[in-house]
Amino acid sequence: MTFIISSPCIGSVDGACVDVCPVDCIYSKKGDDRLFINPEECIDCAACEPVCPVDAIFPDDELPEKEEIYLEKTKEYNFDDSEPGVNI
């Protein structure tokens, strides 16, 4: 399991999740419209989920159906070309 950031982050991107993540696994780069959790590095601690002001973060197996595209987008995201934090 991992956690996924979904569409409500777009337009917010306040970085609250970044501030509480103990392993710095929430990434972005210039041009992104939201943040991405690196599934290889996420330790599934769930600290980010309750601090998101727009309820954008879900465990991957609880992602609402209309947000499933964000699971695919996360799989396709190039974390090697990105950095932890809010870099948009």
Q: Closest approach of Cβ 65 to ligand SF4, in Å?
A: 19
Site for ligand SF4 in 1-60 (CB under 6 A): 3, 5, 9, 12-17, 20-21, 23, 25-26, 34-35, 37, 42-48, 51-52, 54, 56-57
Q: Count the site residues for ligand SF4 by CB under 6 A.
A: 29
- Rounded to an integer, what distance in angstroms lies between the CA atom of residue 18 and that of residue 74? 16
Q: Closest approach of Cβ 5 to ligand SF4, in Å?
A: 4
Cβ neighbours around 28 below 10 Å, total? 23
- Report, in angstroms and rounded to the nearest whole number, the Rg of the chain calculated over CA atoms: 11
